[in-house]
């Protein structure tokens, strides 16, 4: 019979594929992550590394309960707490989680060394300013405590926030706790709110915020485009960082009289095609997910001049699929959006 458990995992803003640095980690110097600057659980979903059909990883709860649950058939629900903001996030679940014995962990450790995967992990730890020396000295018996098949992993995208007062958790320790049911996830509906208010939307926080790196060029374009659009549509008809129903944020939204809303997504890659590639799926999600139709126009913004090929590509998308996606360059020399939509 399957045992259902809920487990807290260490905080991470790289989707638990590699270490993400000290942001949101425990400040307690007596804790492992507080002492060395990372947690072994930060590779929990690094599914590039598969051995015999399984992904092997570390789960602190399994480390503590290795013998107790060694023969158990487990379904594990995962959540994490951002120690900086005290927010709680439901991550997803793993079916058919298996506990890895010490001898098997040693075997997988040797495979990781031979494949260069261990060296890759050591480099990643150093890149976020944590102590790679600790990883080098980790006992091979202890590095891997769980394994699962990739198709048994089910993740929330993005993670869903829930209240600290939710009674779905009996405790917040890093060990197996009884599963009492899904928490009540905090929700949000899309509303147009004018003003340039990055990070202030009604006190709402998103998982995306916690991992966002500051991009000065993005910020400069957003500030300039916001000011430019207010001259066209008025201060009461332009807003920035507006929340979607999925907890993500739209860079800029303009309200064009009775004609509806225009969503703008800013990208700073070095080519037009790269910016289109990065922004297109986001704009589709902002407007249409899961069954909405918020925007009359979707506009990709970057500092790159449009090319003939990129213009033809967007025109092709509009004509073939009826998706109202456009491109508008931002002129850095005058700090304004160019007039023409492509």
Condensed to tens digits (0 to 9), the pLDDT of residues 89-114 reads 999 999 999 999 999 999 999 999 99
CATH number, domain with residue 273: 3.40.1350.10
Q: What is the pLDDT of residues 258-307, one digit of tens each?
A: 779 999 999 999 999 999 999 999 999 999 998 899 999 999 999 999 99
9-51: pLDDT as tens digits: 999 999 999 999 988 888 887 788 888 889 999 999 999 999 9
Range of 39's domain? 3-178
Q: How far apart are CA 148 and CA 99, in angstroms?
A: 9
Range 197-201, long-range pairs (CB < 8 A, 24+ positions)? 197/239, 197/240, 197/241, 198/222, 198/240, 198/241, 199/241, 200/241, 201/241, 201/242, 201/243, 201/249
Q: Is 144 helix (H, G, I), strand (E, B) or coil?
A: coil
3-state secondary structure of 336: strand
Q: Which residue, 287, 82, 298, is CA-closest to 190?
A: 287
pLDDT at 204 exceeding the cut of 50: no
155 and 229 inside one domain? no
Look at residue 342 and tell me if it is in a domain.
Answer: no
Judged against a pLDDT cut of 80, whether residue 214 lies above it is answered with no
Do residue 210 and residue 274 come from a single domain? yes
pLDDT at 163 over 70: yes
- Is the confidence at residue 66, as pLDDT, over 60? yes
Q: Clarify whether residues 164 and 224 are in a common domain.
A: no
My answer on whether 53 and 138 are in the same domain is: yes
Number of neighbouring beta carbons within 10 Å of residue 98 = 21
* Count of domains forming the chain: 2
Dist CA 272 CA 312 (whole Å): 12
Residue 184 located in a structural domain? no
Q: Is residue 317 part of a domain?
A: yes
Task: Specify the pTM.
Answer: 0.79
> Does 67 lie in the same domain as 172?
yes
Considering the domain boundaries, does residue 280 fall inside one?
yes
Same domain, yes or no: 223 and 320: yes
Is residue 138 located within the same domain as residue 11? yes
| Separation CA 311–CA 306 (nearest Å) | 7
- The CA distance from 340 to 311, in Å, is 11
User: 208 and 170 in one domain?
Assistant: no
Asked if residue 196 belongs to a domain, the reply is: no
pLDDT beyond 90 at 252: yes
């Amino acid at each position: 019979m399957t045992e259902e458990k809920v487990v807290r995992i260490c905080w991470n803003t790289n989707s638990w594929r590699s270490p993400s640095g000290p942001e949101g980690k425990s400040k307690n110097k007596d804790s492992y992550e507080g002492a060395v600057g990372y947690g072994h659980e930060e590779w929990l979903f690094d599914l590039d590394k598969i051995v015999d059909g399984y992904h092997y990883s570390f789960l602190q709860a399994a480390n503590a309960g290795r013998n107790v649950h060694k023969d158990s058939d487990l379904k594990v629900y995962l959540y994490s707490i951002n120690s900086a903001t005290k927010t709680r996030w439901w991550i997803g679940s793993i079916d058919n989680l298996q506990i890895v014995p010490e001898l098997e962990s040693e075997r997988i450790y040797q495979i990781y060394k031979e494949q260069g995967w261990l060296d890759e992990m050591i480099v990643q730890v150093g890149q976020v300013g944590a102590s790679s020396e600790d990883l080098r000295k980790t006992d091979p018996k202890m590095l891997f405590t769980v394994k699962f098949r990739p198709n048994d992993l089910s993740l929330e995208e993005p993670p869903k926030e829930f209240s600290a007062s939710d009674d779905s958790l009996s405790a917040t320790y890093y060990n197996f706790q009884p599963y009492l049911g899904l928490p009540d996830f905090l929700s949000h509906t899309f509303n147009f709110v004018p003003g340039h208010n990055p990070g202030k939307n009604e006190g709402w926080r998103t998982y995306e915020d916690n991992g966002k790196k500051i991009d000065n060029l993005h910020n400069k374009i957003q500030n300039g485009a916001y000011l430019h659009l207010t001259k066209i549509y008025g201060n009461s008809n332009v807003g920035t960082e507006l929340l979607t129903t999925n907890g993500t944020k739209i860079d800029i939204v303009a309200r064009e009289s009775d004609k509806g809303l225009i969503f703008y997504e800013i990208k700073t890659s070095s080519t037009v095609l790269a910016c289109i590639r990065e922004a297109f799926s986001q704009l589709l999600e902002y407007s249409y997910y899961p069954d909405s139709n918020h925007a009359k126009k979707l506009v990709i913004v970057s500092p790159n001049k449009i090319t003939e090929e990129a213009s033809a590509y967007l025109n092709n998308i509009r004509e073939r699929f009826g998706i109202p996606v456009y491109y508008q360059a931002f002129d850095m020399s005058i700090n304004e959006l160019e007039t023409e939509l492509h």
